Amino acid sequence: MSETNRPKARKPKGFRDSFASQSMERQEMIATICDVYSKFGFELLETSCIEYVDALGKFLPDQDQPDAGVFAMKDDLDDQWLALRYDLTAPLARVVAEFGDDLPTPFRRYQHGPVWRREIKPSKDRFREFFQCDFDTVGCETMAADAEVCLVLSEAMRALGIDEFVVRVNNRKVLNGLMASLEITEPAVRLGILRTLDKLDDIRIEGVKQQLGPGRKDKSGSWNEGLHLPYSSINRVVEFLQCKMPTRRETCDAFLEFAAGSPDGVEGVNELKSIEQYLEVSDIAQEFVTFDPSLVRGLEYYTGPVFEIELPFEVKVKGKPKKFGSVAGGGRYDYLVERFTGKKVPATGASIGVDRLLAALSLLQKTKSEASLGPVVVTMMDKEQGLEYQKIVNELRDAGIRSELYLGDRKFKAQMKYADKRNSPVVVIAGSNEFEDGTVTLKNMFLGKALSQEVEDNQAWRKGQPAQSTVKREDLVQSVTDIINQVDLVTQNNQA
Protein backbone atom coordinates (compact mmCIF):
# COMPACT_ATOMS: atom_id res chain seq x y z
CA MET A 1 0.00 0.00 0.00
CA SER A 2 1.39 3.37 -0.90
CA GLU A 3 2.02 5.88 1.84
CA THR A 4 -0.63 8.26 0.63
CA ASN A 5 -3.23 5.50 0.65
CA ARG A 6 -2.72 4.51 4.25
CA PRO A 7 -5.79 4.85 6.43
CA LYS A 8 -5.50 7.28 9.28
CA ALA A 9 -5.90 5.71 12.71
CA ARG A 10 -8.66 7.73 14.24
CA LYS A 11 -12.05 7.16 15.69
CA PRO A 12 -15.26 8.86 14.63
CA LYS A 13 -16.28 11.88 16.61
CA GLY A 14 -18.62 11.29 19.51
CA PHE A 15 -17.36 7.76 20.10
CA ARG A 16 -14.94 6.51 22.71
CA ASP A 17 -12.48 3.76 23.47
CA SER A 18 -12.46 2.65 27.08
CA PHE A 19 -9.43 1.03 28.59
CA ALA A 20 -9.31 -1.28 31.56
CA SER A 21 -9.97 0.95 34.56
CA GLN A 22 -12.68 3.02 32.88
CA SER A 23 -14.42 -0.03 31.47
CA MET A 24 -14.39 -1.82 34.81
CA GLU A 25 -15.75 1.24 36.56
CA ARG A 26 -18.64 1.38 34.13
CA GLN A 27 -19.32 -2.32 34.50
CA GLU A 28 -19.40 -2.01 38.27
CA MET A 29 -21.74 0.93 38.12
CA ILE A 30 -24.10 -0.91 35.79
CA ALA A 31 -24.01 -3.95 38.06
CA THR A 32 -24.83 -1.85 41.13
CA ILE A 33 -27.73 -0.13 39.42
CA CYS A 34 -29.11 -3.34 37.96
CA ASP A 35 -28.97 -5.03 41.35
CA VAL A 36 -31.33 -2.36 42.62
CA TYR A 37 -33.66 -2.85 39.65
CA SER A 38 -33.63 -6.57 40.23
CA LYS A 39 -34.37 -6.11 43.92
CA PHE A 40 -37.54 -4.24 42.97
CA GLY A 41 -38.59 -7.21 40.89
CA PHE A 42 -37.61 -6.13 37.41
CA GLU A 43 -36.15 -8.79 35.15
CA LEU A 44 -33.41 -8.56 32.60
CA LEU A 45 -34.18 -8.12 28.92
CA GLU A 46 -31.75 -7.76 26.05
CA THR A 47 -32.89 -6.64 22.63
CA SER A 48 -31.18 -6.19 19.31
CA CYS A 49 -29.18 -3.03 18.69
CA ILE A 50 -30.81 -2.54 15.33
CA GLU A 51 -34.50 -1.99 14.75
CA TYR A 52 -36.66 -1.07 11.82
CA VAL A 53 -36.91 2.68 11.63
CA ASP A 54 -40.71 2.64 11.73
CA ALA A 55 -40.60 0.49 14.86
CA LEU A 56 -38.29 2.94 16.59
CA GLY A 57 -41.00 5.51 16.19
CA LYS A 58 -41.62 8.80 14.58
CA PHE A 59 -39.93 10.72 17.32
CA LEU A 60 -36.51 11.06 15.81
CA PRO A 61 -36.55 10.03 12.16
CA ASP A 62 -39.17 11.15 9.69
CA GLN A 63 -40.36 10.07 6.27
CA ASP A 64 -38.12 12.29 4.21
CA GLN A 65 -35.03 11.64 6.27
CA PRO A 66 -35.13 8.14 7.73
CA ASP A 67 -31.65 8.71 9.12
CA ALA A 68 -32.25 12.06 10.81
CA GLY A 69 -30.88 11.87 14.31
CA VAL A 70 -30.19 8.15 14.15
CA PHE A 71 -27.62 5.93 12.51
CA ALA A 72 -29.66 4.35 9.77
CA MET A 73 -29.01 2.08 6.83
CA LYS A 74 -31.06 0.36 4.21
CA ASP A 75 -31.21 -3.41 4.42
CA ASP A 76 -30.60 -5.28 1.17
CA LEU A 77 -32.67 -8.22 2.38
CA ASP A 78 -36.03 -6.50 2.39
CA ASP A 79 -35.27 -2.99 1.21
CA GLN A 80 -36.27 -1.59 4.59
CA TRP A 81 -34.70 1.17 6.63
CA LEU A 82 -32.92 -0.03 9.75
CA ALA A 83 -31.42 2.07 12.52
CA LEU A 84 -29.39 1.70 15.66
CA ARG A 85 -31.65 2.14 18.70
CA TYR A 86 -31.52 5.62 20.19
CA ASP A 87 -32.94 4.56 23.54
CA LEU A 88 -34.10 1.40 25.28
CA THR A 89 -37.75 2.31 25.60
CA ALA A 90 -38.76 2.15 21.96
CA PRO A 91 -37.32 -1.38 21.58
CA LEU A 92 -39.21 -2.37 24.73
CA ALA A 93 -42.46 -1.20 23.19
CA ARG A 94 -41.72 -3.30 20.13
CA VAL A 95 -40.97 -6.38 22.23
CA VAL A 96 -44.17 -5.97 24.21
CA ALA A 97 -46.16 -5.58 21.01
CA GLU A 98 -44.46 -8.58 19.45
CA PHE A 99 -44.40 -10.99 22.39
CA GLY A 100 -46.99 -9.45 24.70
CA ASP A 101 -49.24 -12.50 24.81
CA ASP A 102 -46.49 -14.62 26.30
CA LEU A 103 -45.32 -12.02 28.77
CA PRO A 104 -46.64 -11.55 32.29
CA THR A 105 -48.80 -8.46 32.73
CA PRO A 106 -47.67 -6.07 33.99
CA PHE A 107 -44.31 -6.69 32.37
CA ARG A 108 -41.44 -5.36 34.45
CA ARG A 109 -38.04 -5.42 32.86
CA TYR A 110 -34.67 -3.72 33.12
CA GLN A 111 -32.13 -3.36 30.37
CA HIS A 112 -28.70 -1.84 30.03
CA GLY A 113 -26.54 -1.21 27.05
CA PRO A 114 -25.28 1.31 24.54
CA VAL A 115 -27.59 3.52 22.53
CA TRP A 116 -26.69 5.67 19.56
CA ARG A 117 -27.73 9.12 18.46
CA ARG A 118 -26.38 11.01 15.50
CA GLU A 119 -25.66 14.20 17.38
CA ILE A 120 -24.86 17.19 15.27
CA LYS A 121 -22.32 18.47 17.69
CA PRO A 122 -20.69 15.76 19.78
CA SER A 123 -18.58 17.14 22.60
CA LYS A 124 -16.83 16.22 25.79
CA ASP A 125 -19.98 15.14 27.59
CA ARG A 126 -22.24 14.60 24.65
CA PHE A 127 -21.56 11.37 22.83
CA ARG A 128 -23.01 9.59 19.86
CA GLU A 129 -22.70 6.26 21.66
CA PHE A 130 -23.50 6.12 25.33
CA PHE A 131 -24.80 3.74 27.97
CA GLN A 132 -28.16 3.65 29.64
CA CYS A 133 -29.72 1.61 32.44
CA ASP A 134 -33.46 1.42 31.95
CA PHE A 135 -36.33 -0.02 33.95
CA ASP A 136 -39.99 0.06 33.04
CA THR A 137 -43.32 -1.35 34.06
CA VAL A 138 -45.55 -1.96 31.06
CA GLY A 139 -49.27 -2.49 31.42
CA CYS A 140 -50.19 -0.65 34.58
CA GLU A 141 -52.38 2.34 35.24
CA THR A 142 -51.66 2.81 38.90
CA MET A 143 -49.62 5.69 40.18
CA ALA A 144 -47.97 3.18 42.51
CA ALA A 145 -45.73 2.35 39.58
CA ASP A 146 -44.79 5.99 39.09
CA ALA A 147 -44.08 6.40 42.78
CA GLU A 148 -41.97 3.30 42.51
CA VAL A 149 -39.91 4.94 39.79
CA CYS A 150 -38.93 7.58 42.35
CA LEU A 151 -38.10 4.91 44.90
CA VAL A 152 -35.97 2.94 42.48
CA LEU A 153 -34.09 6.03 41.33
CA SER A 154 -33.44 7.13 44.91
CA GLU A 155 -32.24 3.74 45.95
CA ALA A 156 -29.96 3.43 42.93
CA MET A 157 -28.32 6.73 43.87
CA ARG A 158 -27.76 5.58 47.42
CA ALA A 159 -26.39 2.25 46.25
CA LEU A 160 -23.82 4.21 44.28
CA GLY A 161 -22.85 6.20 47.35
CA ILE A 162 -24.46 9.42 46.16
CA ASP A 163 -26.42 11.19 48.85
CA GLU A 164 -26.75 14.57 47.24
CA PHE A 165 -29.41 14.21 44.59
CA VAL A 166 -32.94 15.31 43.78
CA VAL A 167 -35.56 13.35 41.90
CA ARG A 168 -37.62 16.04 40.24
CA VAL A 169 -41.16 15.12 39.29
CA ASN A 170 -43.76 16.89 37.20
CA ASN A 171 -46.78 15.85 35.18
CA ARG A 172 -47.40 16.52 31.53
CA LYS A 173 -51.10 16.77 32.23
CA VAL A 174 -50.47 19.61 34.65
CA LEU A 175 -48.49 21.37 31.93
CA ASN A 176 -51.37 20.75 29.54
CA GLY A 177 -53.64 22.29 32.12
CA LEU A 178 -51.46 25.38 32.16
CA MET A 179 -51.67 25.61 28.38
CA ALA A 180 -55.44 25.28 28.52
CA SER A 181 -55.68 28.06 31.08
CA LEU A 182 -53.56 30.25 28.80
CA GLU A 183 -55.89 29.33 25.94
CA ILE A 184 -52.97 28.43 23.75
CA THR A 185 -53.66 25.76 21.16
CA GLU A 186 -51.00 26.35 18.54
CA PRO A 187 -48.52 23.47 18.89
CA ALA A 188 -45.47 25.58 18.02
CA VAL A 189 -46.24 28.10 20.74
CA ARG A 190 -46.96 25.37 23.29
CA LEU A 191 -43.64 23.77 22.46
CA GLY A 192 -41.91 27.12 22.78
CA ILE A 193 -43.38 27.66 26.23
CA LEU A 194 -42.39 24.18 27.38
CA ARG A 195 -38.84 24.70 26.16
CA THR A 196 -38.67 27.97 28.00
CA LEU A 197 -39.92 26.40 31.25
CA ASP A 198 -37.23 23.77 30.92
CA LYS A 199 -34.57 26.46 30.70
CA LEU A 200 -35.58 28.10 33.99
CA ASP A 201 -32.52 26.82 35.75
CA ASP A 202 -30.22 28.32 33.13
CA ILE A 203 -31.86 31.61 32.30
CA ARG A 204 -33.63 32.36 35.61
CA ILE A 205 -37.07 33.88 35.93
CA GLU A 206 -35.96 37.07 34.18
CA GLY A 207 -34.81 35.07 31.16
CA VAL A 208 -38.14 33.24 31.09
CA LYS A 209 -40.04 36.52 31.04
CA GLN A 210 -37.92 37.86 28.20
CA GLN A 211 -38.14 34.65 26.22
CA LEU A 212 -41.92 34.54 26.51
CA GLY A 213 -42.09 38.22 25.61
CA PRO A 214 -39.89 40.08 23.15
CA GLY A 215 -36.86 37.79 23.28
CA ARG A 216 -33.47 37.82 24.95
CA LYS A 217 -29.77 37.91 24.44
CA ASP A 218 -28.08 34.75 25.61
CA LYS A 219 -24.68 34.41 27.21
CA SER A 220 -22.96 34.28 23.87
CA GLY A 221 -24.62 37.54 22.90
CA SER A 222 -26.87 36.15 20.18
CA TRP A 223 -30.46 37.21 19.99
CA ASN A 224 -33.23 34.71 20.67
CA GLU A 225 -36.54 35.81 19.28
CA GLY A 226 -39.27 35.65 21.92
CA LEU A 227 -42.79 34.25 21.78
CA HIS A 228 -44.44 37.66 22.14
CA LEU A 229 -47.09 36.43 24.55
CA PRO A 230 -49.41 39.00 26.09
CA TYR A 231 -48.33 40.35 29.44
CA SER A 232 -51.08 38.52 31.31
CA SER A 233 -50.00 35.17 29.89
CA ILE A 234 -46.38 35.75 30.80
CA ASN A 235 -47.46 36.59 34.30
CA ARG A 236 -49.47 33.44 34.56
CA VAL A 237 -46.52 31.29 33.46
CA VAL A 238 -44.30 33.02 35.98
CA GLU A 239 -46.85 32.40 38.69
CA PHE A 240 -47.01 28.77 37.63
CA LEU A 241 -43.26 28.44 38.05
CA GLN A 242 -43.65 29.82 41.55
CA CYS A 243 -45.84 26.86 42.45
CA LYS A 244 -42.70 25.14 43.66
CA MET A 245 -43.21 24.86 47.42
CA PRO A 246 -41.16 23.39 50.25
CA THR A 247 -43.33 20.27 50.38
CA ARG A 248 -44.83 18.16 47.63
CA ARG A 249 -48.33 18.49 49.08
CA GLU A 250 -48.16 22.27 49.02
CA THR A 251 -46.91 22.18 45.45
CA CYS A 252 -49.89 20.03 44.47
CA ASP A 253 -52.26 22.54 46.07
CA ALA A 254 -50.62 25.37 44.20
CA PHE A 255 -50.85 23.45 40.93
CA LEU A 256 -54.55 22.99 41.46
CA GLU A 257 -55.24 26.67 40.97
CA PHE A 258 -53.79 26.50 37.49
CA ALA A 259 -55.49 23.25 36.60
CA ALA A 260 -58.92 24.11 37.91
CA GLY A 261 -60.45 24.87 34.52
CA SER A 262 -59.01 21.88 32.73
CA PRO A 263 -60.02 18.26 33.24
CA ASP A 264 -56.59 17.17 32.07
CA GLY A 265 -54.87 19.45 34.54
CA VAL A 266 -57.01 18.28 37.45
CA GLU A 267 -56.27 14.69 36.60
CA GLY A 268 -52.55 15.50 36.51
CA VAL A 269 -52.67 17.04 39.96
CA ASN A 270 -54.60 14.07 41.31
CA GLU A 271 -51.96 11.76 39.90
CA LEU A 272 -49.24 13.70 41.66
CA LYS A 273 -51.23 13.56 44.89
CA SER A 274 -51.54 9.82 44.51
CA ILE A 275 -47.79 9.49 43.96
CA GLU A 276 -47.27 11.59 47.05
CA GLN A 277 -49.26 9.14 49.18
CA TYR A 278 -47.03 6.28 48.13
CA LEU A 279 -43.93 8.36 48.76
CA GLU A 280 -45.14 9.23 52.24
CA VAL A 281 -45.62 5.65 53.32
CA SER A 282 -42.18 4.92 51.93
CA ASP A 283 -40.63 7.68 54.04
CA ILE A 284 -39.15 9.56 51.13
CA ALA A 285 -37.89 12.90 52.40
CA GLN A 286 -38.98 16.11 50.71
CA GLU A 287 -35.40 16.93 49.83
CA PHE A 288 -34.88 13.80 47.75
CA VAL A 289 -38.07 13.86 45.68
CA THR A 290 -39.64 17.18 44.75
CA PHE A 291 -42.52 18.23 42.54
CA ASP A 292 -41.17 20.82 40.17
CA PRO A 293 -43.17 22.93 37.67
CA SER A 294 -40.13 23.65 35.50
CA LEU A 295 -39.44 20.02 34.66
CA VAL A 296 -40.53 19.21 31.10
CA ARG A 297 -38.38 16.45 29.53
CA GLY A 298 -38.04 16.47 25.79
CA LEU A 299 -39.42 13.24 24.45
CA GLU A 300 -42.77 13.69 22.81
CA TYR A 301 -44.13 10.40 24.01
CA TYR A 302 -44.53 11.23 27.69
CA THR A 303 -48.17 11.52 28.68
CA GLY A 304 -48.25 11.77 32.49
CA PRO A 305 -45.72 12.02 35.28
CA VAL A 306 -42.16 12.80 34.20
CA PHE A 307 -39.00 12.27 36.22
CA GLU A 308 -35.47 13.46 36.31
CA ILE A 309 -32.55 13.02 38.68
CA GLU A 310 -30.59 16.15 39.23
CA LEU A 311 -27.26 16.35 41.00
CA PRO A 312 -27.52 19.76 42.62
CA PHE A 313 -23.92 20.17 43.67
CA GLU A 314 -21.86 22.70 41.82
CA VAL A 315 -18.85 21.85 39.77
CA LYS A 316 -16.31 24.33 38.61
CA VAL A 317 -16.08 24.54 34.86
CA LYS A 318 -13.11 26.76 34.06
CA GLY A 319 -13.46 28.49 37.41
CA LYS A 320 -17.17 29.16 36.97
CA PRO A 321 -19.52 27.26 39.25
CA LYS A 322 -22.19 25.31 37.45
CA LYS A 323 -24.76 22.76 38.49
CA PHE A 324 -23.85 19.28 37.44
CA GLY A 325 -27.36 18.68 36.24
CA SER A 326 -29.39 15.76 35.01
CA VAL A 327 -28.21 12.16 35.16
CA ALA A 328 -31.46 10.28 34.62
CA GLY A 329 -34.87 10.81 33.13
CA GLY A 330 -38.12 9.09 32.47
CA GLY A 331 -41.86 9.26 32.63
CA ARG A 332 -45.18 7.70 31.79
CA TYR A 333 -45.91 6.91 28.17
CA ASP A 334 -49.31 5.52 27.46
CA TYR A 335 -49.24 5.24 23.68
CA LEU A 336 -45.94 3.62 22.72
CA VAL A 337 -47.28 0.10 22.43
CA GLU A 338 -50.56 1.27 20.97
CA ARG A 339 -48.66 2.36 17.88
CA PHE A 340 -48.15 -1.32 17.08
CA THR A 341 -51.25 -3.03 18.37
CA GLY A 342 -53.95 -0.39 18.55
CA LYS A 343 -54.48 -1.38 22.15
CA LYS A 344 -53.72 1.15 24.85
CA VAL A 345 -50.93 -0.20 27.06
CA PRO A 346 -49.90 2.30 29.69
CA ALA A 347 -46.31 2.15 30.88
CA THR A 348 -43.88 4.06 33.04
CA GLY A 349 -40.19 3.91 33.76
CA ALA A 350 -36.91 5.73 33.71
CA SER A 351 -33.38 5.55 32.45
CA ILE A 352 -30.13 6.35 34.18
CA GLY A 353 -27.40 7.86 32.03
CA VAL A 354 -24.38 5.84 33.01
CA ASP A 355 -21.77 8.07 31.44
CA ARG A 356 -23.01 11.28 33.04
CA LEU A 357 -23.07 9.53 36.39
CA LEU A 358 -19.54 8.25 35.95
CA ALA A 359 -18.42 11.78 35.24
CA ALA A 360 -20.22 12.94 38.37
CA LEU A 361 -18.64 10.27 40.52
CA SER A 362 -15.18 11.08 39.33
CA LEU A 363 -15.80 14.72 40.21
CA LEU A 364 -16.97 13.62 43.65
CA GLN A 365 -13.85 11.46 43.78
CA LYS A 366 -15.92 8.46 44.60
CA THR A 367 -14.43 6.35 41.89
CA LYS A 368 -12.63 3.25 42.98
CA SER A 369 -8.91 2.55 42.67
CA GLU A 370 -7.39 4.40 39.76
CA ALA A 371 -5.39 1.51 38.38
CA SER A 372 -6.36 -2.00 39.28
CA LEU A 373 -3.73 -4.44 40.43
CA GLY A 374 -1.94 -6.06 37.52
CA PRO A 375 -0.83 -9.66 37.13
CA VAL A 376 2.27 -11.23 38.57
CA VAL A 377 4.89 -10.93 35.82
CA VAL A 378 7.36 -13.75 35.32
CA THR A 379 10.38 -12.22 33.62
CA MET A 380 12.53 -14.04 31.11
CA MET A 381 16.15 -13.55 32.04
CA ASP A 382 17.48 -16.44 30.05
CA LYS A 383 15.62 -17.36 26.89
CA GLU A 384 17.24 -20.80 26.80
CA GLN A 385 15.21 -21.63 29.89
CA GLY A 386 11.90 -20.59 28.37
CA LEU A 387 10.09 -23.76 29.39
CA GLU A 388 11.11 -23.40 33.02
CA TYR A 389 9.48 -19.98 33.08
CA GLN A 390 6.34 -21.48 31.60
CA LYS A 391 6.26 -24.02 34.44
CA ILE A 392 6.45 -21.19 36.95
CA VAL A 393 3.46 -19.41 35.39
CA ASN A 394 1.53 -22.66 35.24
CA GLU A 395 2.03 -23.20 38.96
CA LEU A 396 0.92 -19.69 39.80
CA ARG A 397 -2.18 -19.97 37.65
CA ASP A 398 -3.04 -23.37 39.07
CA ALA A 399 -2.98 -21.69 42.47
CA GLY A 400 -5.44 -19.11 41.16
CA ILE A 401 -2.92 -16.30 41.00
CA ARG A 402 -3.35 -13.89 38.10
CA SER A 403 -0.03 -14.10 36.32
CA GLU A 404 1.67 -13.98 32.99
CA LEU A 405 4.91 -14.85 31.30
CA TYR A 406 6.67 -11.85 29.82
CA LEU A 407 6.03 -12.41 26.15
CA GLY A 408 7.99 -9.50 24.74
CA ASP A 409 11.39 -9.49 23.19
CA ARG A 410 13.20 -6.91 25.27
CA LYS A 411 16.02 -6.81 27.75
CA PHE A 412 15.55 -7.44 31.41
CA LYS A 413 15.40 -3.78 32.31
CA ALA A 414 12.58 -3.22 29.88
CA GLN A 415 10.77 -6.19 31.41
CA MET A 416 10.87 -4.47 34.78
CA LYS A 417 9.47 -1.33 33.21
CA TYR A 418 6.73 -3.40 31.65
CA ALA A 419 5.82 -4.90 35.02
CA ASP A 420 5.76 -1.42 36.50
CA LYS A 421 3.41 -0.18 33.80
CA ARG A 422 1.13 -3.13 34.36
CA ASN A 423 0.95 -2.22 38.04
CA SER A 424 2.21 -5.68 38.84
CA PRO A 425 2.47 -6.54 42.55
CA VAL A 426 5.20 -9.15 42.20
CA VAL A 427 7.88 -9.84 39.64
CA VAL A 428 9.38 -13.31 39.48
CA ILE A 429 13.06 -13.26 38.58
CA ALA A 430 15.08 -16.32 37.71
CA GLY A 431 18.45 -16.51 35.96
CA SER A 432 21.37 -18.87 36.02
CA ASN A 433 21.97 -18.28 39.74
CA GLU A 434 18.46 -19.25 40.70
CA PHE A 435 18.26 -22.23 38.37
CA GLU A 436 21.51 -23.63 39.81
CA ASP A 437 20.33 -23.17 43.39
CA GLY A 438 16.78 -24.34 42.85
CA THR A 439 15.38 -20.96 43.89
CA VAL A 440 13.46 -18.00 42.48
CA THR A 441 13.79 -14.32 43.33
CA LEU A 442 10.62 -12.36 44.05
CA LYS A 443 10.40 -8.62 43.93
CA ASN A 444 7.66 -6.73 45.73
CA MET A 445 7.10 -3.92 43.30
CA PHE A 446 5.05 -1.77 45.65
CA LEU A 447 7.52 -2.03 48.51
CA GLY A 448 10.29 -1.26 46.04
CA LYS A 449 8.47 1.85 44.94
CA ALA A 450 7.95 3.00 48.52
CA LEU A 451 11.58 2.41 49.47
CA SER A 452 12.90 4.17 46.41
CA GLN A 453 11.46 7.44 47.71
CA GLU A 454 14.04 7.51 50.45
CA VAL A 455 17.13 6.38 48.60
CA GLU A 456 19.37 9.05 47.19
CA ASP A 457 22.40 7.17 46.05
CA ASN A 458 21.88 5.23 42.86
CA GLN A 459 24.60 2.68 43.57
CA ALA A 460 23.19 1.91 47.00
CA TRP A 461 19.68 0.96 46.01
CA ARG A 462 20.78 -0.99 42.98
CA LYS A 463 23.09 -3.14 45.07
CA GLY A 464 20.78 -3.41 48.05
CA GLN A 465 17.60 -4.50 46.24
CA PRO A 466 15.74 -4.35 49.55
CA ALA A 467 12.30 -5.16 48.17
CA GLN A 468 13.19 -8.61 46.94
CA SER A 469 13.97 -11.98 48.36
CA THR A 470 15.16 -15.31 47.07
CA VAL A 471 13.08 -18.30 48.09
CA LYS A 472 13.13 -22.00 47.44
CA ARG A 473 11.49 -23.02 44.23
CA GLU A 474 8.97 -25.20 46.10
CA ASP A 475 7.86 -22.18 48.14
CA LEU A 476 7.06 -20.13 45.05
CA VAL A 477 3.28 -20.12 45.35
CA GLN A 478 3.22 -19.55 49.09
CA SER A 479 5.72 -16.69 48.94
CA VAL A 480 3.99 -14.96 46.04
CA THR A 481 0.67 -15.27 47.86
CA ASP A 482 2.19 -13.71 50.98
CA ILE A 483 3.50 -10.71 49.06
CA ILE A 484 0.19 -10.16 47.25
CA ASN A 485 -1.66 -10.21 50.56
CA GLN A 486 0.76 -7.61 51.91
CA VAL A 487 0.30 -5.43 48.86
CA ASP A 488 -3.46 -5.77 49.14
CA LEU A 489 -3.36 -4.53 52.72
CA VAL A 490 -1.20 -1.57 51.84
CA THR A 491 -3.25 -0.46 48.85
CA GLN A 492 -6.47 -0.80 50.84
CA ASN A 493 -5.06 1.37 53.60
CA ASN A 494 -3.99 3.96 51.10
CA GLN A 495 -7.47 4.12 49.68
CA ALA A 496 -9.12 4.40 53.08
Partner RNA sequence: CCUGCUGUAGCUCAAUUGGUAGAGCGCUGGAUUGUGGAUCCAGAGGUUGUGGGUUCGAGACCCACCGGUAGGACCA
Half-sphere exposure of 320 (CA within 13 A, CB side): 3
Q: Which of 17, 79, 370, 456 binds RNA (CB under 7 A)?
A: 456
Q: x/- contact string, 167-196, with RNA (CB under 7 A)?
A: ----------------------------x-
CA distance 386 to 396: 16
Which residue, 206 or 218, is less far from RNA as judged by CB?
218
Q: Is 131 in the site for RNA (CB under 7 A)?
A: no
Q: Which of 235, 277, 465, 485 binds RNA (CB under 7 A)?
A: 465
Which residue, 317 or 496, is less far from RNA as judged by CB?
317
At position 479, the amino acid (one-letter code) is: S
Strands 305-317 and 289-291, sheet pairing: unpaired
What three-state secondary structure class fits 291?
Answer: strand
What three-state secondary structure class fits 308?
Answer: strand
Q: Please check whether residue 45 is in contact with residue 89, taking contact to mean a CB–CB distance below 8 angstroms.
A: no
Q: Please, which residues have CB within 8 angstroms of residue 42's CB and are 6 or more apart in sequence?
A: 108, 109, 110, 135, 137
Q: Is 485 in the site for RNA (CB under 7 A)?
A: no
Q: Which of 174, 284, 443, 484 binds RNA (CB under 7 A)?
A: 443
Q: Please, which residues have CB within 8 angstroms of residue 212's CB and are 6 or more apart in sequence?
A: 193, 196, 226, 227, 229, 233, 234, 237
Which residue, 364 or 451, is less far from RNA as judged by CB?
451
Q: How far is the CB of 122 from RNA (least distance, A)?
A: 7
Q: Is 209 in the site for RNA (CB under 7 A)?
A: no
Q: Please, which residues have CB within 8 angstroms of residue 429's CB and are 6 or more apart in sequence?
A: 379, 381, 440, 441, 442, 443, 468
Q: Which of 6, 8, 121, 383 binds RNA (CB under 7 A)?
A: 121
DSSP-derived secondary structure for 42-84: -EE----SEEEHHHH-SSS--SS-TTSSS-EEE-TTTS-EEEE
Binders of RNA among residues 263 to 302 (CB under 7 A) are 297-300
What three-state secondary structure class fits 185?
Answer: coil
Q: Is 383 in the site for RNA (CB under 7 A)?
A: no
Q: Is 256 in the site for RNA (CB under 7 A)?
A: no
Q: How far is the CB of 450 from RNA (least distance, A)?
A: 6
Binders of RNA among residues 58 to 117 (CB under 7 A) are 59, 69, 117
Binding site for RNA (CB under 7 A): 13, 59, 69, 117, 120-121, 123-124, 195, 198-199, 202, 218-222, 224, 297-300, 317-318, 326, 329, 353, 381, 410-414, 416-417, 419-420, 429-434, 441, 443, 445-452, 455-456, 458, 461-462, 465, 467-468
